[in-house]
Structure 1
Amino acid sequence: MTKPVQPTMTTVYYMQCVLSFCLALGSVVIGILYLPVDTWVRAFLAVGVLYTVTSSFVLAKCVRDRQEITHVTSRVDQARLDKLLAEHDPFKVEKI
């Protein structure tokens, strides 16, 4: 039986994701700092950005956890099926 190929994440892709996130967050922070509004408006926008960032991390973790659970469940089901098929003998005659 062949083992399924697991997708891998390269270092370059990881760095691209990290740099993209830092660039996006930095741009929003600079935009908030140079916005010509009162301090309380800046603080409100900053809290909104922080809430959005933390929510996106939590959502990504939930999606990853759900995918892992589905993958593990399907592997367990496949192992049960493989065991049943290995134990099954189609030529066996049952005595009554």
Structure 2
Amino acid sequence: MTKPIRTKQTAAFYVQALLSFAVSLASVVIALVYLPTEGWIRAFLGLGLLYVVTSTITLCKVVRDRHELAEVSNRVDQARLDKLLSEHDPYKVDA
């Protein structure tokens, strides 16, 4: 039985993803603040930005949960198969 190799995220990858998100969010917020238009237009665009960020986070959670559920199901199925194979004796003669 071979176990799948699980790759772990490095700290550098985590920091890079966090910094990338922070820089992109900050740059859009700064652009909205200095946008030469009326305040209500900036508020509307800011609300749209907030909606995009929260829906992105929700999508990430859903994808992660679905992946983890599939991984657990695969492990349970593999354990059942391993049990059946270990109990099976091809040389057993039925009387």
Q: TM-score range by the shorter chain?
A: over 0.9
1:7 maps to which residue?
7
1:28-67 correspondence runs (5 A)? 28-67=28-67
Mapped to 2, the partners of 1:42 and 1:71 lie a distance apart of 43
Number of equivalenced pairs = 95
What TM-score do you get using the length of structure 1 for normalisation?
Answer: 0.95
Give the 4+ runs in structure 1 shifted more than 2 A: 1-4
The reply on whether 1:25 has 2:29 as its aligned counterpart is no
Displacement, 1:3? 3.2
SS at match of 1:6: coil
What TM-score do you get using the length of structure 2 for normalisation?
Answer: 0.96
Identity of aligned residues (%): 57
Displacement, 1:4? 2.4
Structure 2 unaligned spans of 5+: none
Displacement, 1:17? 0.2
Displacement, 1:94? 1.0
Mapped to 1, the partners of 2:71 and 2:2 lie a distance apart of 17
User: AA paired with 1:54?
Assistant: T
Mapped to 2, the partners of 1:46 and 1:94 lie a distance apart of 74
Tell me the alpha carbon deviations over residues 13-52 of structure 1, each in whole angstroms, 9 at most, x when there is no partner: 0000000000000010001001111000000000000010
Mapped to 2, the partners of 1:86 and 1:73 lie a distance apart of 20
Mapped to 2, the partners of 1:49 and 1:64 lie a distance apart of 23
Mapped to 1, the partners of 2:90 and 2:4 lie a distance apart of 28
Structure 1 unaligned spans of 5+: none
